[in-house]
Copies of this chain bind each other. A is one copy, B any other.
Amino acid sequence: MSSAHSPSSGQNATAASGSGVSSPTFSPLYQQIKRLILQGLQSNEWRPGELIPSEMELAARFGVSQGTVRKAIDELAAENLVVRRQGKGTFVASHLEARSQFRFLRLKPDVGEAHYPDNTIIEARRVRAPADVARQLEIKTGDSIIFMLRMQSFDGAPTILEELWLPSAIFKGLSVERMLAYKGPMYALLETEFGTQMLRATESIRAVAADERSASLLKVPVHSPLLSVQRVSYTYGDKAVEVRRSFYVTNDHYYHNELS
Contacts and interface: CB of A to CB of B under 8 A. Distances in A.
Contacts of A66: none
Copies of this protein, total = 2
Contacts of A209: 224-225
A226 B225 contact: yes
A257 B205 contact: yes
Contacts of A200: 258-260
Contacts of A182: none
A228 B209 CA distance: 14
Contacts of A228: 207
A255 B228 CA distance: 10
Contacts of A226: 207, 225
Interface string A97-123: 000000110100000000000000000
A227 interface: yes
A208 interface: yes
**Which secondary structure dominates where chain A touches chain B?**
strand
A256 B202 CA distance: 7
Given A209-B225, A226-B207, A227-B207, A201 B259 contact: yes
A79 interface: yes
A225 B204 contact: no
A163 B228 CA distance: 23
A259 B202 contact: yes
Contacts of A257: 202-203, 205, 257
A204 B256 CA distance: 5
Which of A209, A224, A226, A254 is the most central at the interface, judged by chain B CB atoms within 10 Å of its CB?
A: A254
A235 interface: no
A255 B231 CA distance: 12
Contacts of A205: 205, 227, 250, 254-257
Contact of A259 (B78, B79, B203, B206): B203
Given A223-B223, A225-B226, A226-B225, A260 B199 contact: yes
Contact of A80 (B199, B206, B224, B260): B260
A248 interface: yes
Interface string A221-260: 0011111100100000000000000001010001111111
Nearest to A249: B207
Given A203-B259, A209-B225, 15 more contacts: A79-B260, A103-B259, A200-B258, A200-B259, A201-B258, A202-B258, A205-B255, A206-B225, A206-B255, A207-B207, A207-B225, A207-B227, A207-B248, A227-B227, A231-B259
